[in-house]
Amino acid sequence: MKIDHLVKDITQWMINYHHESKRESWVIGVSGGIDSAVATSLAVRTNIPTLGIVMPMSTSNHADVIFINRAFNLFNTIRQNYRITCQTIPIQPIIESYQKCGVGLSFIYNENNTFSSYRPIREGNLRSRIRANILYDIACEYCGLVVGTGNKDEDEIGYFTKGGDGLVDICPLSDLHKSTVYKLAEYLDVPQEIIQASPSAGLWDNQTDQQELGMSYDEIEWALDYDDTVTMQKYLGPYQQNVLLKVREMRRKNKHKLCYPPIFKLTRKEKGGKNESAN
């Protein structure tokens, strides 16, 4: 696969879809990570107005400042050859308003109000869904399409938030393994600080994808390719077996994220038949 041809193919595909949709812009959440950086770099190459939205928890937290700086370094690199509009919207006040109502709390308490456990995934999912709401609000204002940033490895195992980063209008990277995303990043001149950073959704402090998943993206890619290649029958060691089991279990458990919600279908009798009155 030639990367320059791949870039041209994805870009033209995005242009065609945008023209068919009769919309006016792209809207994309930019996290400072490699996937959103590549998706943004592809979007601006369509010469369709692109809005990059940075949504940190705050603008004072050290980790958030790092993500913000990476995102704006990307914007500055892009502006050397293309046009992009950017905006920063901290979401901490929105999170706090939810939590005051008991929604999205990371700290779980017992009935006697004593501390029970810490579950960052709950607040992390809320953050992701709030960001999706913001992107769609901006897309409504600018008649835009929301660009997805998920790659094949994430999408295949359901490593995204339903109604959050999984809620998008177009997916330019979803058939590409993370390893290909890295190759695109190099070709598209994504800043090295983004390419070299540990992949992270940034949904809670010190979160990294590999730590949360318990495996690397290279290992996920291997497991997906193993299952997709019927003729591959080599001996697997204990560690490979463990990775394969993890990937298969995540694909099984998160299958609902990749399907349209099931719809109950009325039978002919339940519909009333042709001769039944509309009343």
HEC string for 15-58: HHHHHHHCCCEEEEECCCCHHHHHHHHHHHCCCCCEEEEECCCC
Q: Name the pTM for this structure.
A: 0.88
Report in angstroms the alpha-carbon separations of 45 from 16, 73, 91, 190, 273: 13, 17, 29, 13, 54
Report residue 60 as tokens.
Answer: 């004072």
Confidence of residue 130 (pLDDT cuts 50, 70, 90): very high
Q: What percent of the chain has pLDDT over 70?
A: 90
**By CB neighbour count within 10 A (0-12 exposed, 13-18 middle, 19+ buried), where does 232 fall?**
exposed
Q: What pLDDT is recorded for position 85?
A: 97
Q: What pLDDT is recorded for position 41?
A: 98
pLDDT at 31 over 70: yes
**Residues 18-35, mean pLDDT to the nearest whole number:** 97
pLDDT in tens, 213-252: 999 999 999 999 998 775 555 678 889 999 999 999 999 9
Q: What pLDDT is recorded for position 220?
A: 96
Domain made up of 3-210: CATH architecture: 3-Layer(aba) Sandwich (3.40)
Report residue 133 as tokens.
Answer: 């709401």
Report residue 58 as tokens.
Answer: 């705050």
Decide if 26 contacts 48 (C-beta within 8 A): yes
Q: What pLDDT is recorded for position 115?
A: 44
* Distance, CA of 202 to CA of 204 (rounded, Å): 6
Asked which of 23-32, 79-88, 106-115 is least confident by mean pLDDT, the reply is: 106-115
Report residue 12 as tokens.
Answer: 């033209």
Q: What pLDDT is recorded for position 123?
A: 85
* Distance, CA of 185 to CA of 192 (rounded, Å): 9
> Is 198 in a helix, a strand, or coil?
coil
* Distance, CA of 213 to CA of 194 (rounded, Å): 20
Decide if 56 contacts 87 (C-beta within 8 A): no
pLDDT at 97 over 70: yes
Decide if 67 contacts 231 (C-beta within 8 A): no
